[in-house]
Amino acid sequence: MKKTAIYIGTLAIGLFLGWLIFGGNSTADPEHDHTTETAAQMYTCSMHPQIMQPEPGDCPICGMDLIPADAGADGLAVNQFRMSEQAVALANINTTVVGNNSGSTASLRLSGKIEANEKNTLVQAAYFGGRIESLNINTTGEQVRKGQLLATMYSPELVAAQQELLTASNLKEKQPGLYKAVRNKLKLWKLSEKQISEIETRGEVQEFFPVYATISGTVTEKLINEGDYVKQGQALYRIANLNSVWAVLDAYENQLSMLDEGQALTIKANAYPGRTFESTIEFIDPTLNNANRTTRVRAELKNNEGLLKPGMFIKADAQIEQQEETNRLLIPQSAVMWTGTRSVVYVQPDTQEAVFELREVELGGEMNDQYEVLAGLQNGERIVTQGTFTIDAAAQLQGKPSMMNREEKEEDNSNEELSLPKSFQKSLWPLLSAYMTMNESFVKTDPSGAKQQARKMLDIYETMDVSSLGASEKDLFEKAGQMITAIANNEEIEAQRSHLVILSDALVVLAKNMEELPETLYVQNCPMANQNKGADWLSTNEKILNPYYGDAMLSCGSTLDTLR
């Protein structure tokens, strides 16, 4: 009993001494992990865990209060976010390693129109004054041949000259010089020897005189009508030989360094999708068009078959020499998203993880469906080339920097003044009508309907001619096209609505710059949409029908402006 007590006492003393010597080691290191303490608190939705926001609020999907998320340190930068493997697979995301283009050829895409060759365009003029009695060529587009009857004229001057000829003809043996002078006068008015001799033989004045074509070609402009009085030398018709035409292309400032006279061009006309026409650049305009910031680039095309007609829209690929492009860093156009004047891409820092980050890039010229990167990316980095808008929607839902959720506040450009050609304004209204039809699907919270209507919008968008637009107008229009494409390729209503915000902003600016509208448009706004930042939309209905919340908050919003 006594020994047992001694053993227990000895054990207690040993434990006490061990604690004194070693017990503090477990807490002695003051540099313990502060990761959890310093990690920014994020908030999520219990029903939709994919929602991650840096501040408390309501879930953008169901409206429930957000709750604090588990503060696990994932080692991601502020501008990075993670997607699950399942989400990546469903989004069909593809990535590409950025590299220098080492192919044997590259091309620069230009657009423009077919025009008549000015070298082969001549004017049929009146060689004597008088009144147009009748016209044999009444419309533009008609073919004329040299010597063909164009019109019949009454000319007091010609009547007097014929009388002089008849008088001089009777005196030609006595005054041969006078006779010769009168005949030469008629020849200067383009009367032939045969016509002059017929007047002498007939012995009487001809009141109405035919006007014959002195050139062959196609009438491109008719400048007179029956009953008009014309002066000597006045233009009657403009006639072009269309066996040779010009391809006139528009090149932007940042493309001029890649173009030179003699450079090979491969030209395609919208009218002949499967056919190409080869030519070379023969002239680059030394001046810049201040309205659209472009320079005219011209090439000559043979047109013996008459396939190419002035006014046809064309696209051309200018071949870039290999030694000039080997040092260019090129990325696919599908990787780039536009946010106003900025261009951004999504980068995947580690191929082993589904982690992505938004990166702003500076772009140069466009070549062969690729953009040249001047800054923002390095050779060997991996970027997203397919599924960019799906990734952007995921970034928005997680409260990360994206096209919409940017660290810096974007400037309101809804009142930006643009220069829109009348032809473009006319073709813009069908696109706006299709947009408002698509909004009806958003009001009904119908993602499949919105997707279907977006595809119809895309069909209209792709037929519109942008060759006459300036740089800022074209950027805004292309931004709208990217959002239409994103909606058409997405089936999640919230992701579609996030793209609708940007699309509506672009279309509001375009609509405000239209001179005439077939219908009154209302610029309406929901202050709670776009994560309480507010979002606009266009409607022909003065009554508020909110496309961003549908039945949940159908009448939430107000009318900001009325466009007539």
Q: What CATH number has the domain spanning 119-240?
A: 2.40.50.100
DSSP 178-211: HHHHHHHHHHHTT--HHHHHHHHHHTS--SEEEE
pLDDT, greater one: 339 or 268: 268
Ranges in the chain annotated CATH 2.40.30.170: 246-324
**Which H, E and C letters describe 340-353, residue by residue?**
CCEEEEEECCCCCC
| Tokens read off for 226 | 């029956």
pLDDT tier, 439 (very low <50, low <70, confident <90, very high otherwise) = very high
Q: What is the CATH number of domain 246-324?
A: 2.40.30.170
Buried b (16+ CB within 10 A) or exposed e, 387-398: bbbbbbbbbbbb
Q: What is the pLDDT of residue 49?
A: 55
C-beta neighbour count of 357 within 10 angstroms: 18
E-assigned strand segments in 225-328:
229-230, 235-240, 244-252, 264-269, 277-284, 294-302, 313-320
Predicted pLDDT at 248: 95
Structure confidence at residue 327 as a pLDDT band (50, 70, 90)? low
Which residues are 320's β-sheet partners? 106
- The letter for the amino acid at 461 is Y
Domain span(s) for CATH 2.40.50.100 in the chain: 119-240
Q: Which residue would you say has higher pLDDT here, 290 or 12?
A: 290
CATH 2.40.420.20 domain locations along the chain: 86-101+328-364+371-386
Which tops the pLDDT comparison, 397 or 144? 144
Residue 524 — pLDDT band, cuts 50, 70, 90?
Answer: very high
Contact indicator for 117, 246 with CB cutoff of 8 Å: yes
Confidence of residue 554 (pLDDT cuts 50, 70, 90): confident
Query: What pLDDT score was predicted for residue 24?
Result: 43
- The answer for residues whose C-beta is within 8 angstroms of residue 460's C-beta and 6 or more apart is 430, 431, 434
Average per-residue pLDDT for the chain: 80
Residue type at 328 in one-letter notation:
R
For 246, other C-beta atoms within 10 Å of its C-beta total 24
CB distance 157 to 129 below 8 Å: yes
pLDDT of residue 28: 39
Burial class (CB in 10 A: 0-12, 13-18, 19+), 41: exposed
What pLDDT is recorded for position 25? 42
Cα first-last separation, the chain? 108
b/e 201-238 (16+ beta carbons within 10 angstroms → b): eeeeeeeebebbbebebbbeebebeeebebeeeeebbb
24: tokens are 């503090």
d(CA 362, CA 135) in angstroms, rounded, equals: 60
Q: Name, in order, each residue with C-beta under 8 angstroms of 204's C-beta and a sequence gap of 6 or more.
A: 166
Given the structure tokens 């958003």, which residue do they identify? 442
Per-residue pLDDT at 104 = 47
In the chain, the percentage of residues whose pLDDT exceeds 90 is 25
CA distance 218 to 264: 29
Residue 295: per-residue pLDDT: 92
Strands (E), 12-148: 43-44, 52-53, 67-68, 80-82, 94-97, 99-100, 106-116, 121-125, 130-135, 143-144
What confidence category does residue 17 fall into, taking pLDDT thresholds of 50, 70 and 90?
Answer: very low
pLDDT at 511 over 70: yes
Q: What is the pLDDT of residue 367?
A: 66
Buried/exposed code over 261-284 (b: 16+ C-beta within 10 A; e: otherwise): eebbbebbbeeeeeeebebebeeb
Higher pLDDT, 87 or 311: 311
The confidence score (pLDDT) of residue 362 equals: 83
Q: Which of 474, 475, 507, 500 is nearest to 485 (CA)?
A: 500
Distance CA 549, CA 494 (A): 9
**What is the distance between the alpha carbons of residues 24 and 21, in angstroms, rounded to a whole number?**
7
**Number of residues that this document lists for the chain:** 564
Q: pLDDT at position 62, please?
A: 62
Classify 263 in phi/psi space as left (phi over 0), alpha (psi -120 to 50) or beta.
Answer: beta
33-47, 69-83, 324-338, 545-559: segment of lowest average pLDDT: 33-47
Q: Which element (helix H / strand E) includes 483? A: helix 471-488
Q: pLDDT-based confidence at 178, cuts 50/70/90?
A: confident
Banded model confidence at residue 38, pLDDT cuts 50, 70, 90: very low
The architecture of the domain spanning 86-101+328-364+371-386 is Beta Barrel (2.40)
Q: Is the pLDDT of residue 29 over 60?
A: no
